[in-house]
Amino acid sequence: MRFMPVDLTTSPRWQAEHLGLPLPDDRDAVSACLPRWQDNIAYEEGDEHVVGRLQAAYPRFCIHPDVRRLCERLFADGAGLPFASEAAAERAVEYVRHAGGTSAVIQEIAGQPCAGVSVSPEEMPLLRQYWQHAGEIVSSRMARDILDGRQVTFSETEARREIRRRVADRHGVPSDCVCLWASGMAAVAAVWRAVRRRSPGQPTCQFGFPYVDSLKIQQRFPGAQAVFLPAGNDRDLEVLRDRFAARSVSAVFCESPANPLLTTPDLDSLHRLCDEHDAVFIVDDTLRACSRRSVLPRCDVVVTSLTKYFSGTGNVLAGALILNPGSSRFRSLKQVVDAGFQETLSDTDADVLEQNSRDLDNRVRKCVRGAQELVARLRAHPAVADVFYPSEEEEEEDDTSRGALFSIVLRDAARVTPAFFDRLEFCKGPNLGTRFSLCCPYTILAHYHELEFAEQCGVSRWLLRFSVGTEPADLLWDRIERALDSATRATGG
């Protein structure tokens, strides 16, 4: 008898008994339910009561059960990780050695294009850092192929061509300007390496507070030198001008909008400044929800996570790097990007991604409309102190560029937020862009071991991030309002 998966738009996983269940209800889910505030803290502290119950997790942060089985087969004491290519494995070894490790060695996987890296148990945390930051991982589907004796393939399938066409179409460029990667972070790491090859020895700049691993790549990778301007405002723009005048900067990285505060930097000014100094301008546009109003004309490179809105299902990891053919740096960039490119998105994962993205336009429009309705209601609610969502400037009809992600901070946050979160009838776990709505205590999950640093950058430890799905906005509002009312009463507000 075949069981149908749970529909998370109608039956969200949010209660204590849902701890560890996959989001979505799929063997290859890239998130798992952490239903209570304390579960998220326990997860970050490595509490086995929580970690041991995870049936899935975001693949760069946790090892999927099928990947864990592969590790147990490949490495003594399970001390090692498989990577999507031998070149990725070599970079992982270099990272471990750069961080002071001495035990990392390449381990072939017989008959496969993938390769492993074995380390001593003591140096496993260093290897896990590279796995997380670079995202050049072996997926759960790839792991099963290897375990079952099937060849992992990275071939020029029709599904792969169609994905590139869909991505290229949204940015108005030819398909050969698009490179697909095993994850969004793998695309970020790839362009960072390309910048290093183009301008060796020069620092990069992170403009604005970014998703955690984008910054870690620029700070921790061998040869990394980073200028970090966390506010991403006009004052930081003047600081960047001074940096360019005093010392060359090879590239500027930013997000538009930024995660999790949803601010948008002055892309035009940044682009002009980079043009003046022949620096590469790179924009992560993941939170623009695959909008057809591309930011590519205002930068040299766009990097994006296809795991999120493009897939919409939450059961496959992928990313893309898109080059601007109108950039004065296009020729030099394409040369260094192509020189370092290797297919790492497997055929089995590409097949799933292509199928998931067939309804992209209609699905994303529903999500964005719902998010905008909820944002308007939350801004008027007396229990809500702050709502973070992109501004309405230059918005066009049927535009999805503001995305379906927003963040909030409640009033009397330290007292009310845990109670609200525990009562909220949303799926609760790290991811975004799915057809089912999600909520997570973003700062706890992304910056638990550096909470004071995050707060110094304006990101509250009590911040909650919402990703709105395709459910009716009235249904979602009822769930939010019930949780707010219940939490306020329970905490004496």
pLDDT in tens, 198-236: 999 999 999 999 988 999 999 999 999 999 999 999 999
Cis peptide before 174 (omega within 30 of 0): no
CA 309 vs CA 22, 122, 355, 374, 492: distances in Å: 18, 37, 13, 19, 39
The tokens for 48 are: 């086995």
Residue 394 — very low, low, confident or very high, per pLDDT cuts 50/70/90? low
User: What pLDDT does 3 receive?
Assistant: 65
Query: In a 10 Å sphere around its CB, with 0-12 CB exposed, 13-18 middle and 19+ buried, how is residue 120 labelled?
Result: middle
What residue spans of 19-176 are helical by DSSP H? Answer: 37-44, 48-51, 65-74, 86-98, 124-134, 140-147, 158-171
Distance (Å, whole) CA 468 – CA 308: 12
3-state helix vs strand vs coil in the chain, percent to 5: 45, 15, 40
Share above pLDDT 70 across residues of the chain, in percent, rounded to a whole number: 98
pLDDT digits (tens, 9 = 90+) for 298-327: 999 999 999 999 999 999 999 999 999 999
Residue 144 to residue 190: CA distance in whole angstroms: 26
Going by pLDDT thresholds of 50, 70 and 90, the confidence category of residue 395 is low
pLDDT of residue 493: 62
Residues counted in the chain: 493
**Domain residue ranges of the chain, discontinuous segments joined by +:** 65-138, 158-359
Q: Cα–Cα distance between 269 and 257 in angstroms, integer? A: 16
The angle subtended at Cα 321 by Cα 316 and Cα 324, nearest 5°, is 150
Q: Which pLDDT band holds residue 1 (cuts at 50, 70, 90)?
A: very low
Q: Angle between the 184-198 and 212-220 helix axes, to the nearest 10 degrees?
A: 30
The separation between CA 330 and the C-alpha centre of its own chain, rounded to angstroms, equals: 26
Residue 393 has pLDDT above 80, yes or no: no
pLDDT of residue 57: 84
What is the overall mean pLDDT for the chain? 95
**pLDDT tens digit sequence for 250-278:** 999 999 999 999 999 999 999 999 999 99
pTM (2 decimals)? 0.95
- Return the percentage of the chain with pLDDT > 90, whole number: 93
> Mean pLDDT, to the nearest integer, of 149-166?
98
Average pLDDT over residues 64-81: 93
DSSP conformation class of 154:
-
Q: Does 158-359 carry CATH code 3.40.640.10?
A: yes
How far is 289 from 403, CA to CA, in rounded Å? Answer: 5
Fold of 65-138: Alpha-Beta Plaits (3.30.70)
Mean local confidence (pLDDT), 19-25 = 97
What is d(CA 303, CA 322) in angstroms, rounded to the nearest whole number? 6
Q: Which residues pair with 82 in a beta bridge?
A: 116
Give the C-alpha separation, 112 to 84, whole Å: 10
Confidence of residue 357 (pLDDT cuts 50, 70, 90): very high
Does the structure show a pLDDT above 50 at 183? yes
Determine contact, residues 443/453, Cβ cutoff 8 Å: no
Per the CB < 8 A criterion, the answer to whether 294 and 116 are in contact is no
Which whole number is the average pLDDT over 239-256? 93
What digits encode the pLDDT tens for the residues 42-61? 999 999 999 999 999 899 98
